[in-house]
Structure 1
Amino acid sequence: MRKTMLTLALAASLGAAALPLQAADAASDVAPDKDNHKAKAKDLDAITVNAVPLGQQADQIVAPVAVLAGSALDEVKAGTLGETVSAIPGVQTTGLGKAVGRPVIRGMDGPRVAVLENGLGSQDVSNISQDHATSVEPFLADQIEVLKGPSTLLYGSGAIGGVVNVVDGRIPMAAPQNGFSGRAEGRYDSGTEGKTGLFRADAGNRQFALHVDGMRRDDGSYDIPGGTQANSQVKTTSGAAGASLLGDWGYFGLSVSRYLDKYGSPAEPGNAEEGEPPVHIKLEQTRYDMKGGFNKPLPGIAKAEVSFGHNDYQHVEYEGEEAGTTFKTKANEGRVLFTHEPLAGWEGAFGLQYIHRDFSAVGEETFVPPTSTKAWGLFLTEQRQFGPVKLELGARTDRHTVTPDDQPRRKFSPSSFSAGASWRFAQQWHLSLNLDRAQRAPAEEELFSHGPHAASNTFEIGDANLKKETANQAELALHYHGDFVEGKVAVYANRYHDFIYLADTGAVEDGMPVRTWSQRDAKFRGAEAEATFHLARNASGAWDFRAYGDTVRAELEHGGGNLPRIPAGRLGGQLSWSRDDLRASVGAVRYFAQNRTAAFETRTAGYTLVNAHAAWTFHNGERSQWEAFLDGSNLTNRKGRLATSLFKDEVLLPGRSVSAGVRAFF
């Protein structure tokens, strides 16, 4: 309790932060150019957030949101989406080496956090198990948006904990200003002896636009303090092509993308003496997307947006050269969103969402039966300004059907309501309050799993009688934007009725720990804060110091004990400097020990990670910009384990590594 209270006190004393952004005042649908890349932090709140309607900017949204873009995104990009966004207060990651990492938002993970690509679900199976990678590539992102707290209103019951939306512009919504733009990057990592290369190009005019991109990463097993994390290698290839018709009427476009991944499971490195081969996973996904935006299509409608995605996904888990279980999904998802003209002072949007997903797992360790899921959702969101007070309201209703093979069908009708208010009581200050009631239908693995899963080393048992869970959340945040300091501090509480969680039983089956999907009332409460201090602007350069912290406490009601795999509290700081064509930063983040563990869960020791970054723009021409960079991570080579990970006792975080590379914008 002392450490939690210390973290809360320190976080609150930091004040509150500007969103951790460094990007241009430009719409994310346009390929980033060299000027966008160099924009300063003061421009960051002007970025349009794609994951919410009405074309709002980050500082106009009452609900908690953070965005990474431009040079700030370049400096934190990692091989997993979870690691890329983990420096945002309130956001951490699960982890299995450098190949797998899904975002954890305020203690919520798995099926409660929706991972989106351009507003549609990734439709992989990363929510089913912590050894499954996401099929979204952060290295190709223009910007990454994080909605913290229940976002079921816009994206359905799978977003009861939050949303991470990766915007990559694969369907152009506009042409580059000069008719052509692009970027390229190559880097080498000492910790894996790995190489990463990527390119992107956009071209077009007022009537037509084209997009192509590609990425290749080849990492060996990574270094850890005192050795190498066996079987942690990863090879990833991703690419896409897209095209759009453009005009004063709007835009309409199509894209096709391909994602390939092959990675080892460091939790299952094998044992040659006992004849146990290492486990590795081969993943592939083909995605087809359609998206359109139509200006004033009907009386009273300012804009109509339609999007549709079809995904064909599979991954195969191998024990040595022998194929084990094959996971497959075929999914269709569609959204229609109508933004209406202002009505009696209210601005808003309403829409419809549909998802049809067929899932199967076939092989020796089929622990979830083939399942078909269908869901319909209707939603409405409205906002209005009353002088210094802005009010946001929303509602959604869903129909959710889950049909497994040879088992009874389950039907759910989750509904969600939200209300938020922001009060600008002084020029530099505003206070926000968000209230949410959200419901989630159980996922297929929670309902129907039963059997061993070698890659995650778990014997998993579901419960077909689980009920929908209901969250009631309140968040209070104070924002300050001044010349010397800008920041935000927030506190929140979330009470869950019929919370679903994976509990360790202490039993062992087939040599694996038995974990069961269980349901009880639970409560989450936490705090997060961030502050950026603009220390100096003089001949020596621009000096800034960013401090942040977060903590979350999660436990079952009525003396039921702690919930498992809850993130540890953190406190971090970073000193940044820039002058002319140079910029550099050094920082450290302290992860406190996680001693509030569930039954049969081991404690997680605290650790401190020290990181640094430097970049030099050695050519800044009229049409192109070239930049050399150097990144150092875990420079003191400390042992670290993620409290959120099922595999923390077997798998360490990477040790000291240095990445060097060159990126170009043209």
Structure 2
Amino acid sequence: MKALRLRRHALLIALLAALPQAGAQDHPDHDDPTELDRVQVKASPFASSAEELTRPVDVLAGPRLDEAKAASLGETVSRLPGVQSSYFGPGVGRPVIRGLEGARVQVLSDGLSSGDVSTVSVDHAVSIEPFLADQIEVLKGPATLLYGSGAIGGAVNVVEGRIHEQPTDKPLQGRAELRAGTVNDERTGMMRLDGTTASGHLAFHVDALHRETGDYEIPGFAENHAAHEGEEEEEGEEELGAFGVLPNSTLRTDAAAFGLSWVGDRGFIGASQSLYNTRYGIPGHAHGVEDEHDAEADPEAGLDEEGHGEEAVRIVLDQRRTEVRGGLDEAGVFESARVKLARTVYTHTEFEGEEVGTVFDNDTVEGRLELLHRAFVGWDGAFGLQWSDRDFLAIGEEAFVPGSESRDTGVFWIGRRDFGAIAAELGARHDRNRIDVDAAEAIGPSRRFDTTSVSAAARWNINPGLHLSLGLDRAQRSPTAEELYSNGFHVATGSIELGSPDLDVETANRAELGLHWHRGPLKFAASVFHVRYDDFVYLAETGIDEEAPVRLWSQTDARFDGAEAQLDWMFAENDSGAWAARVFGDVVRGRLDGRGSREVVVNVPLEGEVEQFTAQLALEGNLPRIAPARLGGELRWERGPWRASLGAVRYARQDDVAEFETETPGYTLVDAHFAWHHDTAGGTAWELFLDGRNLLDEEARVHTSVLKDLAPLPGRGFAFGVRVFF
């Protein structure tokens, strides 16, 4: 195994050594960070930058993306205002946008869904590799107009550019990177090649990545001691679990893709094939199980003295994806037409020791058509049609969700028009969703839902440096198969989850006010928002504990209130270099908005039989796992080939917790980045980099994580390596 690993790294080193001979160019991704607002947002049918859109959008690209890249998509975007990440070990991190996650945040690969099952369970990874992205776009607030009910809380679009719509700037261009990390013995290598034949009509793309890490280091004990305060007997150090290293936190990822397209004067057509394979451990309790209840609720029951258990849970995820895309400009009455088709075959296998526990299969076909029309009564706009077929199957003793087939079809229109200093945007979408469930396994019948979303937004350009924006939305989401039909023990959450097959459509009514101001070296942006949900779907605590806590998917009204702001200041540019500062902050509060409680009858499956209980469900109070408030700052410096940054983010104590939920103490994460960039005479650019994370070696527990009391974030670590652009 070690010899094979060395051969892989030797091959990547050889590739890096050969690249300068390839005939190169300056890497286009490495524009000045101040130009980031003018990067075109691919998630919108309009060719607009983030600053020109009336809706709140953040874009990561260039050096900022290089510094932010992490093993998970959630961690990569987690330093943007209003965006944090879930956490289930280093292999799993899904974006949390303004307190919303899971089935309310759509993850996209170049405008189409990722095709994974990361919304089914918190321990399922997103099948997109951030290291291979050209740019990452975060759409805040409802994105249902463009991407359906799964984007009622926002969307994250990862632009990978595997099918070219235009010839590349040079016959051959690309980038490659080798990196190593200290906190987890990381070894990562990636490469990307793009080119166009001499005719200028045939464009191609190739990318590949390999990553391996070991168990990562932590500042103290794996288990949160504060969670045991008030217990009758104080635990001895020998019972407090792993110290210094988090067992079963290894990760290995392999990804590759090939794309080919024909590009003409008026359009393009192309196809790509990609694979994504990752294997990761699920960290959990790091000490022996004390009783039968813990043995069933603990995914790492049976750990030995060193914290390495024979029954430790590991996951193997494999995804194969085929895409076809085409576009035509000047298409009759339309300015342009774009069509996208993707077939994704996904398998997710959970191993308990050497035994296969549960297998999840997901086969998805998705299509999307966008028609950009010419101005009609003053409105530029786009019509769209989106459809998807999803066949889902779970096999195994812990398959808590039955197999199902989901069919979704949506039609939309979005338009924009300028009224002098005011830019307006309107849109509407209607979706029909059907879930056909295996009748032999389901606790209820198949369901069909119709959802309608409408939106209006305006931006008032008071002067060239100041504008105000207002957004109003009414967005709807249909329940997922997991919310309707769950009926069994869910290892990831250590609970028995029960669906409610009579759940109705949830409706979100949002109002947001934003401000953007820039003058000379200063730029300031801020927004406040209020979202009121009717029939919000949530996982309610029943207070029943039979072998494990029993939780029931239920509905009541809810509201989310929050604010976010960011200030950028280029405060000096002289012989010492260019100096810039950034300060940002965000806060969100999520609460159930009903009154009192209601009594429900709960049917709990226990040892092959169903027992009936009566429970009182709270209809008011805090929602669980809401991201804490943050305040962050960063100092950046650049002089000639050198650039560096030092930043810190303070995560506040989260004590606005739901019933049965533990509080999370505050913590501060300090990061630093350093790079030396060298352009050769032939046009190739080399970059040596050193990144430091959690430099204070703080014990940090992510409040949005189910594992917050069992698995802290990694301790102090450094990553270093070399990048080449050509």
Same-fold call, TM > 0.5? Answer: yes
How far 1:649 moved relative to its partner?
A: 1.0
Q: How does 1:582-593 map to 2 (within 5 A)?
A: 582-593=642-653
The one of 398, 405, 415 aligned to 1:372: 405
| Pair 1:272–1:651, CA change in 2 (3 A) | closer
Q: How does 1:277-296 map to 2 (within 5 A)?
A: 277-296=311-330
Residues 328-360 of structure 1 deviation map (CA, whole Å, 9 limit, x = unaligned): 100100000000012232111001000110111
Q: How does 1:87-102 map to 2 (within 5 A)?
A: 87-102=79-94
How far 1:426 moved relative to its partner?
A: 1.7
CA contact (8 A) 1:215 1:238 kept: yes
Mapped partners of 1:326, 1:34: distance in 2: 46
CA contact (8 A) 1:114 1:162 kept: yes
The one of 545, 548, 559 aligned to 2:581: 545
How far 1:42 moved relative to its partner?
A: 2.8
Whether 2:252 is the aligned partner of 1:235: answer: yes
| Pair 1:638–1:33, CA change in 2 (3 A) | farther
SS in 2 for 1:111: helix
| Pair 1:38–1:517, CA change in 2 (3 A) | same
Mapped partners of 1:419, 1:178: distance in 2: 42
**Which stretch of structure 1 is more off in the superposition, 34-43 or 229-238?**
34-43
The one of 220, 223, 228 aligned to 2:217: 223
Residues 84-106 of structure 1 deviation map (CA, whole Å, 9 limit, x = unaligned): 00011000000012110000000
Q: How does 1:314-325 map to 2 (within 5 A)?
A: 314-325=347-358
1:184 corresponds to which residue? 176
How far 1:218 moved relative to its partner?
A: 0.2
CA contact (8 A) 1:83 1:93 kept: yes
The one of 150, 164, 168 aligned to 1:172: 164
Whether 2:282 is the aligned partner of 1:265: answer: yes
The one of 553, 556, 564 aligned to 2:592: 556
CA contact (8 A) 1:503 1:564 kept: no
Whether 2:645 is the aligned partner of 1:628: answer: no
1:440 corresponds to which residue? 477
Instruction: Give the aligned residue type for 2:251.
Output: V
CA contact (8 A) 1:232 1:266 kept: yes
2:562 corresponds to which residue? 526
CA contact (8 A) 1:97 1:654 kept: no
Q: How does 1:478-557 map to 2 (within 5 A)?
A: 478-510=515-547, 512-557=548-593
2:289 corresponds to which residue? none
How far 1:272 moved relative to its partner?
A: 3.4
2:205 corresponds to which residue? 211
1:20 corresponds to which residue? none
How many residue pairs end up in the alignment? 633
Q: How does 1:378-457 map to 2 (within 5 A)?
A: 378-406=411-439, 407-457=444-494
CA contact (8 A) 2:25 2:683 kept: no
How far 1:172 moved relative to its partner?
A: 1.4
SS in 1 for 2:34: helix
Q: How does 1:460-479 map to 2 (within 5 A)?
A: 460-479=497-516
CA contact (8 A) 1:231 1:269 kept: no
Instruction: Give the aligned residue type for 1:655.
Output: G
2:341 corresponds to which residue? 308
Mapped partners of 1:253, 1:48: distance in 2: 21
**Which stretch of structure 1 is more off in the superposition, 37-46 or 551-560?**
37-46
Residues 146-169 of structure 1 deviation map (CA, whole Å, 9 limit, x = unaligned): 000000001000000000000011
How far 1:646 moved relative to its partner?
A: 1.2
**Which stretch of structure 1 is more off in the superposition, 454-463 or 643-652?**
454-463
SS in 2 for 1:82: helix
Residues 191-242 of structure 1 deviation map (CA, whole Å, 9 limit, x = unaligned): 0011010000011142110100000110111111030111110100000000
Unmatched runs of 5 consecutive residues or more in structure 1 = 1-31
Whether 2:75 is the aligned partner of 1:38: answer: no
SS in 2 for 1:45: helix
SS in 1 for 2:343: strand
Residues 547-593 of structure 1 deviation map (CA, whole Å, 9 limit, x = unaligned): 00000011011350001110000000000000000000001000001
2:138 corresponds to which residue? 146
2:724 corresponds to which residue? 664
Whether 2:314 is the aligned partner of 1:254: answer: no
CA contact (8 A) 2:523 2:569 kept: yes
TM-score, reference length from structure 1: 0.93
1:19 corresponds to which residue? none
Whether 2:386 is the aligned partner of 1:353: answer: yes
Residues 446-498 of structure 1 deviation map (CA, whole Å, 9 limit, x = unaligned): 11111112244232111111111000000000101221210201000000000
CA contact (8 A) 1:212 1:242 kept: yes
Percent same amino acid at aligned positions? Answer: 49
Instruction: Give the aligned residue type for 2:558.
Output: A
SS in 2 for 1:558: strand
How far 1:174 moved relative to its partner?
A: 1.8
CA contact (8 A) 1:587 1:612 kept: yes
Instruction: Give the aligned residue type for 2:277.
Output: L
Residues 629-660 of structure 1 deviation map (CA, whole Å, 9 limit, x = unaligned): 00000000001111111111111011110000
CA contact (8 A) 2:628 2:653 kept: yes
| Pair 1:34–1:561, CA change in 2 (3 A) | same
CA contact (8 A) 2:208 2:257 kept: yes
The one of 366, 371, 377 aligned to 1:338: 371
Instruction: Give the aligned residue type for 2:684.
Output: S
SS in 1 for 2:119: coil
